[in-house]
Structure 1
């Protein structure tokens, strides 16, 4: 008499998460979780290994797409300081020109 093959079950990511939460959050024994969902303990532990292997990725924050608030503040401050420096340069150039003109008028070397 030929044995009928059992078809494999395919769980979605959401289903896997819910099954793992039963054990990790609700503290249900692994054997009870596996019996309830007709799941082999080896499959459950493989899922658990995957969770632990990818845990670092879950805890990292995504890189911001644009400049941060602090970078924007610093850029504004740089622009302000560059404007002040340009104004000072023009004042110094004007004073130097007046000084040179006075020296010529007074005949000083």
Structure 2
């Protein structure tokens, strides 16, 4: 038995909406983490974290835009976004700062949602 086209479309829209929200929240968490990392004493030790935060935030915004436009590239963009989120989360978890922990949680949630869409 197949589902009606409208039901499938609604389910996809719900997935996209949930994933876009996760991407937007992750981009915000990454931006916040960058700002907080730059305010820490030893920014050199946080260089990889800062770089990955920036990359992840940019990819999250790009993925959110692709979903909003219903781009045919969305699955690939979301797969790449999930990879960036995984890398960023792993790096953030190497640090004890609260902002890094919060960022890691947002990245993990976003990666999971992006995998659903991809």
RCO (CA 8 Å, sep 6+): is it higher in 1 or 2?
2
Q: TM-score, normalised by structure 2?
A: 0.31
Determine which structure has the larger helix proportion and give its number: 2
Larger Rg: 1
